[in-house]
Amino acid sequence: MIDQYILEGHTPVKCADLLTLIRWCQTHDRRVAHSEKDGVRISTVFLGIDHGGCSDRPLLFETMVFGGEHEGDLKRYSTWDEAVEGHKNFCKEYHLPMLSLVNG
């Protein structure tokens, strides 16, 4: 069984079912951070579904690179703070400005 989560503030909270997650996503912004420069975009979002498999910590956030030679590079995280830090690290590594943190 795959666990689903919603965010309360920046804190992931397990929800009862997929329908609850879908309804939450219709009214909430899942973006954590976004950066873009010269056709390369780095996006960090809340996934809502645990991508950790058998991990002891759910992986609920993801940073991914779109465009450029690093297209498809990604990393997943368990917490909002880890996701923000990961986004900053991607920006440093790929020389993109940190444009926006969503919901600060």
Nearest to 6 by CA among 72, 52, 58, 41: 58
How far is 15 from 30, CA to CA, in rounded Å? 16
Confidence of residue 73 (pLDDT cuts 50, 70, 90): very high
pLDDT score of 103 more than 90: no
pTM of the model: 0.91
Nearest to 33 by CA among 25, 41, 21: 41
Residue partners of 93: CB distance under 8 A and separation at least 6: none
Top-confidence residue, 25 or 2: 25
Confidence of residue 96 (pLDDT cuts 50, 70, 90): confident
Task: Quote the Cα angle for 99-74-63, to 5°.
Answer: 35
pLDDT score of 53 more than 80: no
The residue whose two tokens read 């009214």 is 27
